[in-house]
């Protein structure tokens, strides 16, 4: 497979599955904890080793994830598997410590308007909250990852200056963050913007490992992944079946789809350690669980070389 891999691309990529959190928070109905647990088990069985399973935000804000502690308590811990959770503030961090998360994910936006909608506070206050969270996590010896939302454009302010993204990323690095996700919350990223921001961030913060988090709102999510790969990025966040969408941003449709992403990577000679057929089965289970069609494509068509019985297809007449 290595001969298929474009020059400069990583030989292996890490996939962070965010469907249980970012996907389910966008659903109107809350799934039973047992259903979430069964889906998590399927994802792990398919070979995923990084699951963002829930969020310790206020249940009033996101009732779909009100069972955060119960879900983490039910999930078995396995060597090599990281179960992370989104944490908005010190109270959430304390709940996350009690639930024994493997990693905390802190977050804020690159625009003031989106930060106020998403977190109900200015960016300066969010950075202060993150400083508190990192102290709590450090005391509990739990690693902290960070995510910056709307890095490629804001639905309220329009263009987000690169300087603003760099400024916030540098503030996070000073707080000890060494894993940083650059998020395209509303699907406003384009290949030129991805290249610009990734190259600038890698130059400014060589000690920080970057991940990319794309939504497929305008249909070019996987194009943006390919630019990220070309820049040497080897960590991507995606959602099973393409579930997702920010409830605090207009027009934000689903994340890039995990099985579509894995298919792309495998066909380009980039290893993931994930069984695509098992992942497709998990996507179909997720679709059944939420009770409506999901946007994933590979779950419908199957892998490229999936064969069909000749007699099962009608012959053209005339």
pLDDT at 185: 87
For 47, the token pair is: 């070979």
For 150, the token pair is: 């709307």
How many angstroms separate the CA atoms of 253 and 156, rounded? 16
The CATH code of the domain at 2-312 is 3.20.20.70
pLDDT at 263: 98
Decide: 41 and 3 in contact? Cβ < 8 Å. no
Residue-by-residue pLDDT tens, the chain, 318 positions: 567 899 999 999 999 999 999 999 988 889 999 999 999 999 999 999 999 999 998 888 889 999 999 999 999 999 999 999 999 999 999 999 999 999 999 999 999 999 998 888 999 999 999 999 999 999 999 999 999 999 999 999 999 999 999 999 999 999 999 999 999 988 999 999 999 999 999 999 999 999 999 999 999 999 999 999 999 999 999 999 999 876 666 666 789 999 999 999 999 999 999 999 999 999 999 999 999 999 999 999 999 988 888 888 888 886
For 129, the token pair is: 């909250």
pLDDT at 2: 66
pLDDT at 61: 83
How many angstroms separate the CA atoms of 193 and 17, rounded? 24
How many angstroms separate the CA atoms of 2 and 270, rounded? 7
Q: Which residues are the active-site residues? A: 246
Instruction: Please list, residue by residue across 233-253, b when 16 or more beta carbons sit within 10 angstroms of its beta carbon and e when fewer do.
Output: bbbbbbbbbbbbbbebbeebb
pLDDT at 60: 86
How many angstroms separate the CA atoms of 103 and 105, rounded? 7
Q: How far is CA 250 from CA 108, 155, 308, in A?
A: 17, 7, 41
Other Cβ atoms within 10 Å of 95 Cβ, number: 17
- What sign has the CA pseudo-torsion 232, 12, 255, 136? negative
pLDDT at 313: 85
Cβ-Cβ contacts under 8 Å for 220 (sequence gap 6 or more): 189, 190, 191
Query: Can you give the residue ranges of every domain in the chain?
Result: 2-312
pLDDT at 307: 83
pLDDT at 1: 58
For 276, the token pair is: 């695509």
């Amino acid at each position: 497979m290595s001969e298929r891999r474009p020059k400069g691309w990583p030989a292996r990529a890490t996939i962070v599955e965010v469907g249980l959190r970012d996907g389910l928070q966008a659903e109107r109905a809350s799934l039973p904890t047992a259903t979430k647990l069964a889906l998590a088990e399927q994802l792990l069985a398919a070979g995923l080793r990084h699951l963002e399973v829930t969020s310790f935000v206020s249940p009033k804000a996101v009732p779909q994830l009100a069972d955060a502690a119960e879900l983490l308590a039910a999930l078995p811990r396995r060597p090599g598997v990281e179960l992370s959770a989104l944490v908005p503030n010190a109270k959430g961090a304390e709940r996350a410590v009690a639930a024994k998360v493997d990693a905390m994910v802190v977050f804020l936006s690159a625009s003031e308007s989106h930060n106020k909608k998403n977190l109900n506070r200015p960016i300066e206050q969010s950075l202060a909250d993150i400083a508190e969270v990192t102290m709590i996590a450090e005391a509990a010896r739990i690693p902290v990852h960070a995510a910056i939302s709307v890095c490629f454009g804001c639905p309220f302010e329009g263009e987000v200056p690169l300087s603003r993204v760099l400024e916030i990323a540098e503030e996070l690095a000073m707080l000890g963050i060494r894993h940083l996700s650059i998020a395209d919350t509303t699907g406003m990223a384009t290949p030129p913007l991805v290249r610009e921001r990734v190259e600038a961030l890698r130059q400014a913060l060589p000690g920080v490992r970057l991940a990319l988090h794309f939504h497929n709102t305008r249909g070019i999510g996987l194009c943006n992944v390919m630019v990220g790969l070309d820049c040497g990025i080897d960590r991507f966040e995606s959602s099973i079946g393409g579930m997702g969408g920010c409830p605090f941003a207009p027009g934000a449709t689903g994340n890039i789809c995990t099985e579509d992403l894995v298919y792309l990577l495998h066909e380009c000679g980039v290893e993931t350690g994930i069984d695509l057929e098992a992942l497709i089965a998990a996507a179909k289970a997720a679709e059944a669980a939420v009770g409506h069609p999901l946007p994933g494509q590979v779950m419908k068509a199957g892998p490229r070389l999936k064969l069909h019985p000749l007699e099962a297809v009608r012959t053209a007449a005339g």
